[in-house]
A and B are shown apart, each in its own frame.
Chain A
Amino acid sequence: MLLSGRTADPAAGETDGDSTPDLVEIQDLGVSLDGLPVLRQVWLTVPAGQAVALLGNNGSGKTTLVRALLGLTPHQAGAIRLFGAPAVRSGMSRRDGFHSWWRIGYVPQQVAISLHATTLAEVVRTGALAHRHDAVWGVTSWLHRRHARQVVAQALDQVGLTAQAKELFIHLSGGQQRRALIARALAQQPDLLVLDEPLAGVDLAHQGLIRDVLAGFRERGGAILVVLHETEALAPLIDRAVVLRDGRVVHDGPLPTDPETHWGHELEAPPRAAGLMTGLGPHWER
């Protein structure tokens, strides 16, 4: 009933008789924070296997859109469907609603401060929790431990942090922490990765590493929704770009070749540059 006769993506055309639903389908979404409208009439789809970039200035509503999609921020208008099922708002339970949250791997923009005293492996292992079907009555889930260990080892290997597995999170560099959060999401073995500025404050070599990780995920058939401030590092990966301005979608199509011409004067290059450079190490001094 939920998967009834909708094509995945008009652009992709009908690949076979069984059309798969869009992984994310946001219709006419409206979100207000403390009474201030942040998102207005937002439409967004992420078809299976596509990598979609979400672009826009600071304050354009990118992070709010991601949080609303994940159920972390309530929405006041519109509808969100995930994997063909209506997303269940917090506090409500609907039998036909979306419950397979493990299928969406979330990589937040900021590292929660309470992660500091934990080891990298412990952090990544929380992602593998998604496979416990009985998360509440979890005693039997000890049986899943071996499986979880394999999944964690695999995820750490993918982001190149196997050697650091036993290190405390706070002892990792900024780029390593970001890759650790990606590994945590990968440990869910998700079908969709939702990343909020995964490259912010990461130097070029490590941007390349993250790009390789995401490219590998896409090759395995995964879909990606990624909030970006600058698209260069990930440009080869991106199938489609959605640009937000003042909480509305102003562009939905191919990646703008030069974002500066697209956004015009609204892009604030100098402050962004200053912020990036303070986060960079001695590699930049020549």
Chain B
Amino acid sequence: MIELLNLAFMRRALVAAALAGLTAPAIGTYIVQRRLSLLGDGLGHVAIAGVGLALATGSAPLPWAVGACVGGAALIELLRQRGRASGDIGLAILFYGGLAAGVLLASLAGQGAGGLQSYLFGSLVTVSPGDLKLVVALAAVVLVVALGWSAPLFAVCADEDYAKTLGLPVKLYNFVIVVLAAVTVATAMRTVGLLLVSALMVVPVAAAQNLCRGFFASLAGAMGLGLVVSLGGVVTSYYADLAPGATIVLLAIAVFVLSWPVSAWTHRRRHRRLDDPDPRPIPHHWAAESHQDHVHGPGCGHPAVEHGDHLDYLHFGHRHVPHGDHHDEH
């Protein structure tokens, strides 16, 4: 373990992985809440275009990936806010256009699709000191915004219409969420890889939702799980000589699978408790509203429904039955 920390590239890889493990589930909790679980995957495709551009121009890939990804995210959100039916097709074109453009540019640079591999699936040795500075700065921004604005961001993700009626700047918050997701995807490129980062945004969140109750508990739980699987994945991949991105994602899925029985158990326990009757039980004999000279009976004009040994009369969606000088609700 100590020897691992003596290696400069491993120290950088560990820091980058830890930050990816914190930021991806943090922003992923909002993404999952908004039911956009596959957004991260699409953004990863768009970032590939940025990497291809960097390879073709011979510059550092990370800033280009961040730029392409944020641009793509802004475009996606615009499509979503403006268009309706065309949004779906627009997304698909954007995503696959990004992937194709990335591969094309990489091959123009003489690297072919193989040159992209370390960006697609992550690689321990590729985190340069310059990359790390950018990753730390961007991750700090993502964490400050995602946690500092957690209350209004949650409100927008949970119930957009209601958030609008509160007067919250809903469009702005929606933009913030997708842009943060884009930044997260691009910064996780070196460790988890662009094709696998989406899993780190979704799987720890799903596991945390099994283990914790409520949005904010899941947010904290997902970040904790993300940190553990990222660091564990990097260390494992170093010793076992495995691809780090794949190791991290499979570890996350293992945690998710283990969280299933826990969730089933707590759900059963809670359900038993909730089966208790409501504090205000319905009385057996519940008087209906007065009818002003109208007595329900055959030919009263209200539809009759058989109910055990008698007939109920449908009155405004209620089943009424004459009883002495009044009517009962049935």
Whether A286 and B167, one on each chain, are in contact in the complex, defined by CB atoms closer than 8 angstroms, is no
Binds B, one of A12-20, A23-31, A35-43, A132-140: A132-140
Distance of B163 from chain A, by nearest CB (Å): 7
- The answer to whether B279 has its CB under 8 Å from any CB of chain A is yes
Whether A114 and B279, one on each chain, are in contact in the complex, defined by CB atoms closer than 8 angstroms, is no
Given contacts A118-B158, A205-B282, contact A125 B151 (CB under 8 A): yes
Distance of A24 from chain B, by nearest CB (Å): 13
Chain B residues with CB under 8 Å of A113's CB are 35
Chain A residues with CB under 8 Å of B148's CB are 138-139
Whether A171 and B274, one on each chain, are in contact in the complex, defined by CB atoms closer than 8 angstroms, is yes
- The answer to whether B155 has its CB under 8 Å from any CB of chain A is yes
For residue A257, which residue of chain B has the nearest CB?
B292
Chain A residues with CB under 8 Å of B161's CB are 72, 108, 112
For residue A160, which residue of chain B has the nearest CB?
B279
Residue in B34, B216, B218, B317 whose beta carbon sits within 8 Å of that of A230 in the complex: B317
Whether A126 and B215, one on each chain, are in contact in the complex, defined by CB atoms closer than 8 angstroms, is no
Identify which of residues 96-121 in chain A touch chain B, using a CB-to-CB cut-off of 8 Å: 99-102, 104, 106, 108, 112-115, 117-119, 121
Whether B292 and A258, one on each chain, are in contact in the complex, defined by CB atoms closer than 8 angstroms, is yes
- The answer to whether A272 has its CB under 8 Å from any CB of chain B is yes
Whether A204 and B286, one on each chain, are in contact in the complex, defined by CB atoms closer than 8 angstroms, is yes
Chain B residues with CB under 8 Å of A275's CB are 317
Residue in A121, A188, A205 whose beta carbon sits within 8 Å of that of B281 in the complex: A205
| Chain A: interface residue total (CB-CB under 8 A) | 64
Identify which of residues 182-226 in chain B touch chain A, using a CB-to-CB cut-off of 8 Å: 209, 213-216, 218
Identify which of residues 5-22 in chain B touch chain A, using a CB-to-CB cut-off of 8 Å: none
Q: A232–B320 Cα gap in the complex (Å)?
A: 13
Chain A residues with CB under 8 Å of B168's CB are 129, 135
Residue in A104, A136, A141, A168 whose beta carbon sits within 8 Å of that of B172 in the complex: A136
For residue B284, which residue of chain A has the nearest CB?
A286
Whether A115 and B159, one on each chain, are in contact in the complex, defined by CB atoms closer than 8 angstroms, is yes
Whether A136 and B303, one on each chain, are in contact in the complex, defined by CB atoms closer than 8 angstroms, is no
- The answer to whether B110 has its CB under 8 Å from any CB of chain A is no
Whether B308 and A286, one on each chain, are in contact in the complex, defined by CB atoms closer than 8 angstroms, is yes
Whether B213 and A106, one on each chain, are in contact in the complex, defined by CB atoms closer than 8 angstroms, is no
Identify which of residues 63-110 in chain A touch chain B, using a CB-to-CB cut-off of 8 Å: 70-72, 90, 99-102, 104, 106, 108
Q: Mark interface residues in B267-279 (1 if CB within 8 Å of A CB, else 0).
A: 0001100100011
Q: A97–B284 Cα gap in the complex (Å)?
A: 53
Whether B214 and A114, one on each chain, are in contact in the complex, defined by CB atoms closer than 8 angstroms, is no
Given contacts A101-B167, A269-B303, contact A171 B271 (CB under 8 A): yes
Whether A184 and B162, one on each chain, are in contact in the complex, defined by CB atoms closer than 8 angstroms, is yes
Chain B residues with CB under 8 Å of A121's CB are 214
Chain B residues with CB under 8 Å of A184's CB are 162
Whether B274 and A167, one on each chain, are in contact in the complex, defined by CB atoms closer than 8 angstroms, is yes
- The answer to whether A173 has its CB under 8 Å from any CB of chain B is yes
Given contacts A126-B166, A171-B270, A173-B278, contact A114 B157 (CB under 8 A): yes
Distance of B65 from chain A, by nearest CB (Å): 28
Q: A77–B169 Cα gap in the complex (Å)?
A: 25
Residue in B152, B308, B315 whose beta carbon sits within 8 Å of that of A135 in the complex: B152
> Which of A100, A203, A259 has the most chain B CB atoms inside 10 A of its CB?
A203
Chain A residues with CB under 8 Å of B239's CB are none
Whether A112 and B162, one on each chain, are in contact in the complex, defined by CB atoms closer than 8 angstroms, is yes
Residue in A119, A138, A166 whose beta carbon sits within 8 Å of that of B152 in the complex: A138
Distance of A140 from chain B, by nearest CB (Å): 10
- The answer to whether B164 has its CB under 8 Å from any CB of chain A is yes
Given contacts A119-B213, A135-B152, contact A269 B162 (CB under 8 A): no
For residue A280, which residue of chain B has the nearest CB?
B319
Chain A residues with CB under 8 Å of B169's CB are 135-136
Identify which of residues 176-195 in chain A touch chain B, using a CB-to-CB cut-off of 8 Å: 184, 188
List 8 tightest A-B contacts by C-beta distance, closest first. Answer: A101-B167, A119-B214, A112-B159, A126-B155, A276-B317, A106-B165, A273-B314, A283-B282
Q: Which residues of B does A touch, CB under 8 Å?
A: 33-35, 148-149, 151-152, 154-155, 157-169, 172, 209, 213-216, 218, 270-271, 274, 278-284, 286, 289, 292, 302-303, 307-308, 314-319, 329-330
Q: 11 A–B contact pairs at CB < 8 A?
A: A72-B164, A115-B158, A125-B151, A126-B155, A126-B162, A135-B169, A139-B148, A141-B151, A206-B278, A209-B280, A272-B317
Q: Which residues of A does B touch, CB under 8 Å?
A: 70-72, 90, 99-102, 104, 106, 108, 112-115, 117-119, 121-123, 125-127, 129-130, 132, 135-136, 138-139, 141, 160, 166-168, 171, 173, 175, 184, 188, 203-206, 209, 229-230, 232, 235, 257-260, 269-270, 272-273, 275-277, 283-284, 286
19 new A-B pairs (CB below 8 Å) besides A205-B280, A270-B314, A273-B319? A90-B164, A106-B165, A117-B215, A118-B33, A118-B158, A122-B215, A122-B216, A126-B154, A126-B159, A141-B151, A168-B214, A171-B274, A205-B283, A209-B280, A229-B317, A230-B317, A258-B292, A273-B317, A286-B284
